[in-house]
Structure 1
């Protein structure tokens, strides 16, 4: 089994007749999925998603794939194939289209509709759409595509088979094998088996749930739990879930009808996405069930249901504002029930628990995955992956979509079924399929691209480190005025700080050592302002580390008078 190596060099030129695969995101992380296929000088991209920031990314709104590896070759891109409509698969598409606006987009009806709403938000007009369904085929340059139905936690998800002269690739996208799906659309295992008979040279498989034994429970298993929550609740019910989880919203709507409650959407993305799903027929909303959120004040609490965003504890989401009691018109009352109908994305645990505690403090009963079966995963567990490997019988396997532990677990499953060549790669690692064998041949630069407000790519790891220091350790500014002729200190040091207990007297003991250290350097003939600032930084840094056990950001300013 091959493993990525940090010392890999740039890949050689692609041999004639070979297929190259480079993931620019989604390998070694849950999100930011983007994979580039290259054959005969032409490129095909599968997915272009975002990663949501964690607590160690202060001020960051989104994290994008790094387009640098293909930026100079965007004219070679035949199309962007979108496997389904989740943000971690479509969310970065507007940023790619800013660089080349006529890249053809290929996806299912719901996927493209959700993307269109996003493009309008970005004020982008994009007309090159190819709507596809399961069973459809199409040719793009050297790539022959076939689309296959798969289950996921959003309707209309597709796997894609990519035929090239170098071999047949099958990319599952995100998938599971729910045998009793709410919409009746099952993962097409017959198509997987047919492709297996044809001979799959490279199988890219969803790794997210590879560590979980057995089979992922069916969505229908949640229906009785939701019904019980509605039956036991005496007052208002607030349900938080992903704004794209159409099936979960359908279950809540059905329960509301059964228990004679009215439903309102709270949160911009929830309103937008469910409107799209309803218009396209993916969501059935019984007449008279849906009301505007602001109309709830006229309805008795025991007849209210709010469907909200914010199941991951996002600070600006509707649920977080409700938990902090600063939402415009939704205020938690004693006896309300809040149902968190989603999983915990790794890294979001603290934010979610903070919301749960906030809701509980105001008297709400919070039902979540930790105390009830209110969510099932959208990803195949180990039993389903084994099943797929035995059906497809691929010659080579490249686990995708997951942290490194998930991909290694997926690789182990493939090997158990007899797959001899399993390649575990990470973002930027180049995998070439040559003469039917996949192997790692190099690496391209591939880092995080941070979106901060309107700024894309301007935030670096260094500036994030500065932000973390400011937030965790505080900062100290020291201003000194020195005589331009003598070099003696004639003003200050004036010291200001944030993040330290105590008043100005806290820094009295360090003022004279600063003056003395600067005087020594001046006596040695040092007059350069930058060098004197470094002297101040070192003196203050040593003192604050010893006296306060802190490592703040220190900003020294030396002014000549």
Structure 2
């Protein structure tokens, strides 16, 4: 089959003991909230549980979670959560799943579990963890797990092979094939080939760079460009990066040390994650190189390096506040700002707003578009084709990518000779069964976007977001009506409170007759209930504002008895 075209949500066929069911609750058609669930012999295995960061059309949302409601009544069946690496889009939702069942064992590498534990401490959750490394094997219920090293933009990444009576599945996690990684830990292609000889029934493959030709550039090739930034910067160097990008931060620290600068971390997640990385030995620095941010002010500007969060334009992150002048660090003439990260799709406008804000304040902004200061952590097309040729899987399921990435990855798989009907392009919620060496779409479960909004989880709805967007774009109009209960008519002219859109004092003069007509019509029909009167006032006012003001504000009716 070419793709899974969102089968309708219907009762699924029963799952026999000789079959393995796979459902992606996130990560398909999007960059984020990766979560894949394996169902076999009455037991569940979760691989990754991450968050998706909101876009501009989702105002007020903190993060978006996978929707695991389809297995909520089976949380006791989960044998373990396996984490492939420590990025937020793979571990960020774990605290919310553990809120519902705190004793689920969490399996991952040393750094991944340490980053997770620091995060869980903020949620006051003490997890049950099991540390593994490449080469380890262990059984969890009917799932026999084997872990293989992969390199990525964070240390300690793992691919996981899942053996069941229904077949062998190899899940790459996020990976690339850097032949000269900074930590000397290369992707275990020998292990991939060995599993291929054994017979991989389903290959679940990272798709993020599937539409990028060739091979992903090695991390070490960035060193000259980063060094040039530090060598030529006349004042402070301010670096923004992902708070988990240990390799990139190591390169920044090395450059700072080489040019006689001190470095300080800014931003809670950056301080927390780099503290964990240093404690475990993944991040190294000479004594005295890293100092407290408050101590930098005592040094000349040319000796200062600040490393902060906000590379994706997050409005509350340190870099965004610097760009708008709302941070204690006052960016100005002669400062150099280095954005040491790529753009996540959907964040472009927010990032360019920050670049423009920093530029207006006099900073020289260096980013991937102007210098070679970042490389991707994901395998490009050449690497993916290489993997298909050595693994020779029976079936392929592209994951971790938008629709264009998934399709590009599927095309690569087919180009290596994998049959068209053995490559499945799926969507979140699609259910795939592996039986007798063949993966088949058998239906779908309902999934939605679960919003974290402050202290609430899953309460915010699409209707609420639509109302927020309207408030932001068209404002709010409160219509106050004094109604004579004996006649049902207006006792006096309505009052209006408008917020968020321009208007003059006479703007609403023609609205009063509309409301008078609306209430007269209600009175003729003996409509007296406030709820129905409010609905009619809203409908009439919306029609008037749309026609007269060419705006569509949120209308709030207030009825007062005369």
TM-score when normalising by structure 1:
0.98
Q: Cα deviations across residues 22-65 of structure 1 (Å, max 9, x unaligned)?
A: 00111111000000001111000000000011111111101001
- Conserved? CA contact 2:515–2:540, under 8 Å: yes
Q: Secondary structure at the match of 1:238?
A: strand
- Conserved? CA contact 2:7–2:443, under 8 Å: no
- Conserved? CA contact 1:2–1:439, under 8 Å: no
Aligned 1:347-366 pairs, distance under 5 A: 347-366=346-365
- Conserved? CA contact 1:310–1:320, under 8 Å: yes
For residues 23 and 525 of structure 2, the distance between their equivalents in structure 1, rounded to whole angstroms, comes to 56
Of the structure 1 ranges 141-150 and 492-501, higher mean CA displacement relative to structure 2 is found in: 492-501
For residues 428 and 456 of structure 1, the distance between their equivalents in structure 2, rounded to whole angstroms, comes to 20
Number of the residue aligned with 2:57: 56
- Tell me by how many angstroms 1:541 deviates: 1.6
Number of the residue aligned with 2:475: 474
Number of the residue aligned with 2:188: 188
Root-mean-square deviation over aligned CA pairs: 1.1
Number of the residue aligned with 1:3: 3
Q: Secondary structure at the match of 1:505?
A: coil
- Tell me by how many angstroms 1:553 deviates: 1.5
For residues 43 and 536 of structure 2, the distance between their equivalents in structure 1, rounded to whole angstroms, comes to 56
- Tell me by how many angstroms 1:141 deviates: 0.9
- Conserved? CA contact 1:69–1:444, under 8 Å: yes
- Tell me by how many angstroms 1:521 deviates: 2.6
For residues 151 and 493 of structure 2, the distance between their equivalents in structure 1, rounded to whole angstroms, comes to 68
- Tell me by how many angstroms 1:544 deviates: 1.1
- Conserved? CA contact 1:529–1:559, under 8 Å: no
For residues 524 and 431 of structure 1, the distance between their equivalents in structure 2, rounded to whole angstroms, comes to 56
For residues 477 and 265 of structure 2, the distance between their equivalents in structure 1, rounded to whole angstroms, comes to 46
Number of the residue aligned with 2:165: 165
Q: Cα deviations across residues 137-178 of structure 1 (Å, max 9, x unaligned)?
A: 001111000000001000000000000000000000000000
Of the structure 1 ranges 36-45 and 524-533, higher mean CA displacement relative to structure 2 is found in: 524-533
- Conserved? CA contact 2:87–2:244, under 8 Å: yes
1:437 aligns with 2:438: yes
1:295 aligns with 2:271: no
For residues 233 and 446 of structure 1, the distance between their equivalents in structure 2, rounded to whole angstroms, comes to 49
For residues 13 and 503 of structure 1, the distance between their equivalents in structure 2, rounded to whole angstroms, comes to 65
Number of the residue aligned with 1:68: 69
Aligned 1:402-417 pairs, distance under 5 A: 402-417=401-416
- Conserved? CA contact 1:236–1:336, under 8 Å: yes
Q: Cα deviations across residues 353-380 of structure 1 (Å, max 9, x unaligned)?
A: 1111111011100000111111000000
1:394 aligns with 2:393: yes
- Conserved? CA contact 2:16–2:41, under 8 Å: no
Q: Cα deviations across residues 257-294 of structure 1 (Å, max 9, x unaligned)?
A: 11111111111111111111111111111112111101
Q: Secondary structure at the match of 1:21?
A: strand
Number of the residue aligned with 1:44: 45
- Conserved? CA contact 2:208–2:405, under 8 Å: yes
Q: Secondary structure at the match of 1:72?
A: helix
Number of the residue aligned with 1:217: 217
Q: Secondary structure at the match of 1:105?
A: strand
Number of the residue aligned with 2:345: 346
- Tell me by how many angstroms 1:505 deviates: 2.1
Q: Cα deviations across residues 497-532 of structure 1 (Å, max 9, x unaligned)?
A: 112212332111211221132123313433232332
For residues 534 and 103 of structure 2, the distance between their equivalents in structure 1, rounded to whole angstroms, comes to 51
Number of the residue aligned with 2:121: 120
- Conserved? CA contact 1:9–1:443, under 8 Å: yes
Aligned 1:232-311 pairs, distance under 5 A: 232-311=232-311
For residues 470 and 6 of structure 1, the distance between their equivalents in structure 2, rounded to whole angstroms, comes to 33
Q: How many residues matched?
A: 559
- Conserved? CA contact 1:170–1:202, under 8 Å: yes
1:369 aligns with 2:407: no
For residues 378 and 265 of structure 2, the distance between their equivalents in structure 1, rounded to whole angstroms, comes to 26
Q: Secondary structure at the match of 2:224?
A: helix
- Tell me by how many angstroms 1:7 deviates: 4.4
> 5+ residue gaps in structure 1?
none
- Conserved? CA contact 1:169–1:200, under 8 Å: yes
Number of the residue aligned with 1:96: 97
- Tell me by how many angstroms 1:6 deviates: 3.3
Q: Secondary structure at the match of 2:509?
A: helix
Of the structure 1 ranges 336-345 and 6-15, higher mean CA displacement relative to structure 2 is found in: 6-15
- Tell me by how many angstroms 1:486 deviates: 2.0
Structure 1 segments of 4+ aligned residues over 4 angstroms from their partners: none
TM-score when normalising by structure 2:
0.98
For residues 119 and 58 of structure 1, the distance between their equivalents in structure 2, rounded to whole angstroms, comes to 26
Q: Secondary structure at the match of 1:331?
A: coil
Number of the residue aligned with 2:135: 135
1:12 aligns with 2:23: no
Number of the residue aligned with 2:175: 175
- Conserved? CA contact 1:481–1:560, under 8 Å: yes
